């Protein structure tokens, strides 16, 4: 596995490889590091569907709303390198902030059709501006054929698809199902910040979604279902930020629930913010 730390070195390597195979399918997996089994599944899918796989590790400062959250985000570079080598990744990109955000960078303001104004966008103002800027920048650097993202970040995936459409990128965006622990907790780099007790407490998120499944009926009132799910959630020890039942495409709250809807939850487990989602059609 090659490791490149500058845009110039990365481009030289990719140009060399593409000169040998003009039809090369380049798969790209952008990450913020602290890699876990969920990332591994993304990378395995990329390897299955691509000729050459690039993984980036970059903790993007522009998508954090709190300085403490950025400072506390787990960083495990040596372990990440070891995992990527074991998986068979072809190239790891470890850029500096200056490489990703040069002084000459012209950030594009994109019409996201309101996808960025709800849920994460409402509680983390400017978050998706940072996401769109950094993903677009990586697309410019890597120029992949395919890019792989986890469905745990459901809203982010919808926004990236919108960005690709607006900017007319010829990149196939592939969403990979949420990976969970045996108990049901969605895998996340932030889980490493939780104590053993907090890991148990965090299961209330998945349990709440499972409870929603057990009482859900097609055409059911959203207000009624949300009320019951929130009451169930509040039996636990987490602080609920939002529980939204949304249309899969518009991401807007619906009045009645059907299989084309998704429930999205954000909550604090101690100081750690966790998100998860489940599509009713997957129940």
Confidence category of residue 106, pLDDT binned at 50, 70, 90:
confident
Residue 282 domain-assigned (yes or no): no
Indicate whether 225 belongs to any domain: yes
Calculate mean pLDDT across residues 101-119.
89
- Give mean pLDDT, residues 235-241: 98
Domain CATH code at residue 152: 3.40.50.620
Smallest CA-to-CA distance from 225 within 259, 262, 256, 267 is with 256
Cα-Cα-Cα-Cα torsion 255, 259, 262, 263, nearest 10 degrees, comes to 70
Q: Are 134 and 100 in contact (CB under 8 A)?
A: yes
Give the domain range for residue 231.
189-277
Could you please report the per-residue DSSP string of 14-77? HHHHHHH-TT--EEEEEE-S---HHHHHHHHHHHHH-SEEEEEE---GGG-SSHHHHHHS---H
251 within some domain? yes
Query: 129 and 193, same structural domain?
Result: no
Structure tokens at 270: 């101690």
Evaluate whether residue 107 is within a structural domain. yes
**Residues 141, 169 within the same domain:** yes
Q: Which of 176, 206, 228 is the last residue of a domain?
A: 176
Alpha carbon distance 75, 35 (integer Å)? 9
Give the separation between CA 173 and CA 159, rounded to whole angstroms.
11
Q: How do strand 91-93 and strand 2-4 relate by DSSP bridges?
A: parallel
Q: Are residues 6 and 43 in the same domain?
A: yes
The pTM is what? 0.94
Residue 140 is predicted with a pLDDT of: 96
Digit-coded pLDDT (tens) for 43-98: 999 999 999 999 999 998 888 777 878 788 889 999 999 999 999 999 999 999 99
**Cα 2 to Cα 184: distance, rounded to the nearest angstrom:** 35
Q: Based on the domain organization, do 131 and 23 belong to the same domain? A: yes
Residue 100 has pLDDT above 80, yes or no: yes
Picking from 176, 201, 219, the residue at the C-terminal end of a domain is 176
Does the pLDDT value for residue 283 go beyond 80? no
Q: Which of 155, 176, 197 is the last residue of a domain?
A: 176
Residue 88 lies in a domain: yes
Tokens matching residue 203 = 């299961």
For 142, list phi and psi in degrees, rounded to 5: -85, -35
Same domain for 147 and 236? no
Tell me whether residue 37 is one of the annotated catalytic residues: no
Q: Exactly one of 36, 37, 39, 206 is catalytic; which is it?
A: 39
Q: Is residue 182 part of a domain?
A: no
Contact 152, 188 (CB under 8 A): yes
Give the integer Cα–Cα distance in Å for 212 and 223.
12
| CATH, residue 226 | 3.30.1300.10
pLDDT digits (tens, 9 = 90+) for 127-168: 899 999 999 999 999 999 999 999 999 999 999 999 999 999
Whether residues 200 and 149 fall in one domain: no
pLDDT higher than 80, residue 114: yes
pLDDT at position 169 is 98
The β-bridge partners of 149 are: 175
Say yes or no: 202 and 66 in one domain: no
């Amino acid at each position: 596995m090659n490791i490149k730390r500058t845009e110039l070195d990365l481009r030289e390597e990719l140009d060399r490889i593409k000169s040998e195979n003009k039809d090369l399918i380049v798969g790209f997996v952008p990450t913020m590091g602290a890699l876990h089994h969920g990332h591994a599944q993304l990378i395995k899918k990329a390897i299955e569907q691509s000729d050459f796989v690039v993984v980036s590790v970059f903790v993007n400062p522009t998508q954090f709303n709190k300085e403490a959250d950025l400072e506390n985000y787990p960083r495990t570079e040596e372990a990440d390198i070891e995992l990527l080598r074991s998986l068979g990744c072809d190239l790891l990109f470890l850029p500096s902030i200056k490489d990703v955000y040069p002084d000459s960078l012209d950030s594009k303001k994109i019409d996201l059709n309101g996808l960025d104004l709800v849920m994460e966008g409402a509680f983390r103002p400017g978050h998706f501006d940072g996401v769109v800027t950094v993903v677009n920048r990586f697309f410019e650097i890597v120029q992949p054929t395919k890019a792989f993202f986890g469905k745990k970040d459901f809203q982010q995936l919808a926004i990236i698809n919108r960005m690709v459409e607006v900017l007319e990128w010829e990149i196939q965006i592939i969403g990979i199902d949420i990976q969970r622990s045996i108990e049901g907790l969605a895998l996340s780099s932030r889980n490493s910040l939780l104590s053993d007790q907090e890991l148990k407490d965090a299961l209330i998120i998945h349990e709440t979604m499972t409870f929603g499944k057990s009482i859900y009926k097609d055409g059911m009132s959203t207000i009624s279902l949300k009320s019951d799910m929130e009451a169930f959630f509040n039996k636990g020890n987490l602080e609920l930020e939002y529980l939204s039942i949304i249309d899969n495409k518009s991401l807007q709250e619906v009045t009645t629930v059907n299989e084309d809807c998704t429930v999205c939850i954000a909550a604090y487990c101690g100081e750690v913010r966790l998100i998860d989602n489940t599509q009713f059609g997957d129940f």
